[in-house]
Amino acid sequence: MTNCVLCKDDLKPEEGQLIWRGDDCRVILVNDPDLPGFCRVIWNRHVAEMTDLSYGEREHIMTLVFAVEEAIRHVMHPDKVNIAALGNMAPHIHWHVIPRFKDDTFFPGSAWSKKTQETSNDVLEARRKKTEALPAAIKSAIANLA
């Protein structure tokens, strides 16, 4: 599909950081100033719906989503992890894996809700610091799947 933002392989630094890439999927650490640790697991080929994948492909991407969730829980110690696949704006299979905290900007709503509170800069900076350990933790979690 032309103009699909998730089909492009080049990632600008302000968009995020490529953590891991396999033949079928990749994992991105999203540069979201309000939600440090927000990751995406993206199917590399342009496919719109999970049911367009084979059972094995579905199992593969979900195994990666759960490995990313596990790494986020281990590194970030969130109050909750949100996992979402919307695709309304980008009809390309991708999963959002988002550490959530009771004091985050959008809590208790979704990451796409209106802001309900302000998180202090000190707290956000401490969480950003923790994200430095996420790439290694995610790579390790994925390596342990084999």
Q: Which pLDDT does position 116 carry in this prediction?
A: 95
Homologous superfamily of the 16-143 domain (CATH): HIT-like (3.30.428.10)
Q: Which helix (H) or strand (E) holds 129?
A: helix 121-131
Instruction: Judge contact between 25 and 92, C-beta under 8 A.
Output: no
Token pair, residue 29, equals: 């650490």
Distance between CA 75 and CA 64 in Å, rounded? 16
Q: How confident is the model at residue 8 (pLDDT cuts 50, 70, 90)?
A: confident
User: In 3-state terms, the chain is what percent helix, strand and coil (to 5)?
Assistant: 30, 20, 50
Q: Which pLDDT does position 89 carry in this prediction?
A: 79
- Residue 101 pLDDT > 90: yes
Q: Tell me what percent of the residues of the chain surpass a pLDDT of 70.
A: 97
Strand ordering across the sheet containing 94-100: 16-21, 25-30, 39-43, 94-100, 80-84
Question: By three-state DSSP, how is residue 90 classified?
Answer: coil
Q: Which pLDDT does position 2 carry in this prediction?
A: 64
Average pLDDT, the chain: 93
**pTM, whole model, 2 decimals?**
0.94
